Chains A and B, each alone.
Chain A
Amino acid sequence: MVHVSATPVLALRGVSKRFGAVQALTDVELEVHPGEVVALVGDNGAGKSTLVKTIAGVHPIDEGVIEWEGKPVSINRPHDAQGLGVATVYQDLALCDNLDVVGNLYLGRELLHRGVIDEVSMEKNARELLSTLSIRIPSVRIPIASLSGGQRQVVAIARALIGDPKVVILDEPTAALGVEQTAQVLDLVERLRERNLGVILISHNMADVKAVADTVHVLRLGKNNGSFPVKTTSHEEIIAAITGATDNAVTRRAGRRDAEAAK
């Protein structure tokens, strides 16, 4: 476990969100400290995406308080979240295939030199950023189309870091990746932690969660259903919290296998 400072960089206190008749989130609590990787898990429809979107400013919250470095703030638009220092990397990558890596990293916030795009500074900064993150890609001047899925994912995450955020939200970053690419992305998540960023990681993959997260927050039916330190919690306990029962398909299956092994 890494050292975690006392004041959370981002805290949600009793956050609720309603869409018409659907209560998507009820009294949700969440704390993210600098240098902490918080995994957000839960079944489909548990409210993970909604929670992330409230932080990212896509859906303003109905009730509760969002605290940023200990002070209450209001996040009503994506712009507000970006202004505070929240960067979101969505599941479907938002990269332009035809632009090169540098162009994508700086898309929408190009560096200018006398009103003209400053390719030299952008390339220099991009190379520095990628090298501090130990990201290996063939060239920073290669079109995104030429990169593998894993390389695109790390570029997308690196892009989130250009704005110097304090909290990075990763929505299923490894969902579509192979074994090696997943490892690359998990390495990158660890490097974000080393840079003292707060990371919120949404994942269905317990192996990934166990591998990089410090804390697991479980959401079930829009409510908190436990928060566990990863090191001391077993796989089954987390599954139980996700499904809401100690007797579930996963534990039954595990029990059956144990019984068979015992024979």
Chain B
Amino acid sequence: MSDTSKTVQPDPGSEHQNTVAPSDDPTAAPVTVVDPRLLIRDEGLKGYVTEFKRKVKGGELGSLPVVIGLIVIWTIFQLQNDRFLSADNLSNISYYMSATGMLAIGLVFVLLLGEIDLSVGSVSGLASTVFAVFVVTHGMNGWLALFLAVLTGIGIGALQGWFFARIGVPAFVVTLAGFLGWNGLMLWLLGTSGTINIPADQGPIKLLGQSSFFMDQAIIGAYLLAALGVLSMLVGSFGEQRRRKAAGVPFRPTSEILLRVGALAVASFAAAAVLNNASGVSNALVIFLAALVIVDFVLRRTTYGRKVFAVGGGIEAARRAGINVPMVRITVFAISGGFAAIGGMFFAGQTASATLNAGGGNTLMLAIAAAVIGGTSLFGGRGTVWSALLGMLVIQSIQTGLDLLNMNTSIQYMITGAVLLGAVVIDSVSRKSQKAAGRA
């Protein structure tokens, strides 16, 4: 034990790196001799700035690259075309990002394991075709068909996960085979016609269509959603603060909670106002946001989510802790397949059809890029599902902006490729500096 330990109060972590300012700490010992190596945050704004600098230096970039990237992208496109930041265009971005965003949510799970799922694009296309075949060819109820299509995605994911977890085939090979194979199955199902048009006036396709809005475009709808989000964060944060106070562990100071809630309130009410200026909040976006909230809860607050992080952080450690590693892997790939299928429904809703192109092209690249740009590491164990939202904002802004500028597909592909590479470079570099700073 170090010399200091003999004189110090045996309180291992009273100076939490980002939850407490010393004076707020109810458990602080009367005489605290502080080990200079401990991480302590100064009180107030200065403390935030110091901690922020330390984190950035240590490679913990968080959502910083995304925010900077988004500002740069929006500025560039706005200068090129002044319709880019119009309410209608931003509303378009919010609608179209939901579909690929669903794929990105599933990919976050897989990336947390340190693996990759290359089949999500093909699975989404196949799911939309399965749905179309059931509804149009067999005249099935839309919701039942949706259920079966999503089940197909889950089954495909579980199968791929089984090959990976039980047989030991590298995940990228299994899913690369899936990428081709499921696309082939989709083409076979579509047959010679190549396109199946789905009635857009009923069932899931109506719900996910472009003209379907939360509370039928009522102005209050968007603000209701924003208020709901802000209120639940407020209640949640103060509830946690109260519980932590009662238990005598470090808690977030009230000022920090108010600052965070305030930031969310500004962002969400601004977004609501912009969307109301267009036509309101699309139902697709509402479902996307709801999925994010649910998945975030599962990943952070349930034992299953903890298992996913544990397997991503150290397989041997997870195994010794009694975690069934193959089961976690199979379920994660099943979740990825399920979200890919849901994303496929969104694609079908956009065009009210199942087409040869569904889930093809650069869909896969965009979904991976979104998850990685948002801050989920390709190396496993680090990330949040909110990266799917932030990343999709960036990706969809680029897509929409390029469309607005009438860029060719050739240019779009090159730019998408470059963006994906850039995101992975940032991830790799930040991981390197995290290692250098002893944080990876």
A-side interface residues toward B, CB under 8 Å? 90, 92-99, 101, 103-104, 107-110, 112, 115-117, 120-121, 123-124, 127, 130-132, 134-143, 145-146, 180, 183-184, 187
Closest to B37 in A: A138
The reply to whether B439 and A146 contact each other, CB–CB distance below 8 Å, is yes
The reply to whether B317 and A184 contact each other, CB–CB distance below 8 Å, is no
Closest to B58 in A: A146
- Other-chain contact of B310, A96, A109, A117, A135 (Cβ < 8 Å): A96
User: Residues of B contacting A97 with CB < 8 Å?
Assistant: 313-314, 381, 440
Measured in the bound complex, the distance between the Cα atoms of B37 and A146 in whole Å is 12
- Whole-angstrom distance between the Cβ of B129 and the nearest chain A Cβ: 38
- Whole-angstrom distance between the Cβ of A192 and the nearest chain B Cβ: 14
- Whole-angstrom distance between the Cβ of A110 and the nearest chain B Cβ: 5
User: Residues of B contacting A123 with CB < 8 Å?
Assistant: 244, 247, 249
Measured in the bound complex, the distance between the Cα atoms of B20 and A127 in whole Å is 15
The reply to whether B438 and A146 contact each other, CB–CB distance below 8 Å, is yes
The reply to whether A98 and B317 contact each other, CB–CB distance below 8 Å, is no
Verify if B2 is at the interface (C-beta below 8 Å from A).
yes
- Other-chain contact of A96, B17, B303, B314 (Cβ < 8 Å): B314
Would you list which residues of chain B between 276 and 329 have a CB under 8 Å from chain A? 300-303, 306, 309-310, 312-314, 316-318, 320-323
A-B CB proximity, top 4 nearest: A108-B321, A98-B381, A96-B313, A98-B313
The reply to whether B39 and A127 contact each other, CB–CB distance below 8 Å, is no
Would you list which residues of chain B between 1 and 27 have a CB under 8 Å from chain A? 1-2, 4-5, 8, 10-13, 15-19, 27
User: Residues of B contacting A138 with CB < 8 Å?
Assistant: 13, 15, 17, 35, 37-39
Instruction: Select the residue from A93, A97, A137 with max chain B CB neighbours within 10 A.
Output: A97
Measured in the bound complex, the distance between the Cα atoms of B17 and A145 in whole Å is 15
The reply to whether B13 and A145 contact each other, CB–CB distance below 8 Å, is no
Instruction: Select the residue from B4, B12, B320 with max chain A CB neighbours within 10 A.
Output: B12
Measured in the bound complex, the distance between the Cα atoms of B150 and A84 in whole Å is 45
User: Residues of A contacting B39 with CB < 8 Å?
Assistant: 138-139, 142
Q: 15 A-B Cβ contacts within 8 A? A: A93-B317, A94-B321, A98-B309, A103-B310, A109-B321, A112-B303, A115-B302, A120-B243, A120-B249, A131-B10, A136-B4, A136-B8, A136-B35, A141-B19, A145-B440
Besides A99-B310, A99-B313, 10 more A-B contacts (Cβ < 8 Å) are: A95-B317, A96-B309, A96-B317, A103-B306, A121-B247, A131-B12, A136-B2, A141-B17, A145-B439, A184-B1
Chain B 392-430 against A: per-residue CB contact (8 Å), 1 yes, 0 no?
000000000000000000000000000000000000000
Measured in the bound complex, the distance between the Cα atoms of B6 and A183 in whole Å is 13
Closest to A136 in B: B5
User: Residues of A contacting B27 with CB < 8 Å?
Assistant: 127
Measured in the bound complex, the distance between the Cα atoms of B314 and A95 in whole Å is 7
- Whole-angstrom distance between the Cβ of A162 and the nearest chain B Cβ: 11
Closest to B380 in A: A98
Closest to A191 in B: B1
The reply to whether B310 and A107 contact each other, CB–CB distance below 8 Å, is yes
Q: A98-B313, A131-B12 are in contact. Are A124 and B306 (CB under 8 A)?
A: no
The reply to whether B303 and A140 contact each other, CB–CB distance below 8 Å, is no
Measured in the bound complex, the distance between the Cα atoms of B246 and A121 in whole Å is 10
The reply to whether B321 and A107 contact each other, CB–CB distance below 8 Å, is yes
User: Residues of A contacting B17 with CB < 8 Å?
Assistant: 138-139, 141-142
Measured in the bound complex, the distance between the Cα atoms of B38 and A213 in whole Å is 32
User: Residues of B contacting A101 with CB < 8 Å?
Assistant: 13
Verify if B248 is at the interface (C-beta below 8 Å from A).
yes
User: Residues of B contacting A140 with CB < 8 Å?
Assistant: 12-13, 16
Measured in the bound complex, the distance between the Cα atoms of B358 and A115 in whole Å is 39
- Other-chain contact of A184, B2, B18, B438 (Cβ < 8 Å): B2
User: Residues of B contacting A117 with CB < 8 Å?
Assistant: 300-303, 306
The reply to whether A132 and B382 contact each other, CB–CB distance below 8 Å, is no
- Whole-angstrom distance between the Cβ of B34 and the nearest chain A Cβ: 11
User: Residues of B contacting A120 with CB < 8 Å?
Assistant: 240, 243-244, 247, 249
- Whole-angstrom distance between the Cβ of A152 and the nearest chain B Cβ: 11
Closest to A139 in B: B13
- Other-chain contact of A107, B16, B244, B317, B439 (Cβ < 8 Å): B317
- Whole-angstrom distance between the Cβ of A135 and the nearest chain B Cβ: 6
User: Residues of A contacting B243 with CB < 8 Å?
Assistant: 120
The reply to whether A139 and B5 contact each other, CB–CB distance below 8 Å, is no
The reply to whether A139 and B440 contact each other, CB–CB distance below 8 Å, is no
User: Residues of B contacting A135 with CB < 8 Å?
Assistant: 12
The reply to whether B313 and A124 contact each other, CB–CB distance below 8 Å, is no
The reply to whether B1 and A96 contact each other, CB–CB distance below 8 Å, is no
- Whole-angstrom distance between the Cβ of B5 and the nearest chain A Cβ: 5
Would you list which residues of chain B between 56 and 104 have a CB under 8 Å from chain A? none
Measured in the bound complex, the distance between the Cα atoms of B16 and A90 in whole Å is 29
User: Residues of B contacting A104 with CB < 8 Å?
Assistant: 317
The reply to whether A127 and B12 contact each other, CB–CB distance below 8 Å, is yes
The reply to whether A107 and B249 contact each other, CB–CB distance below 8 Å, is no
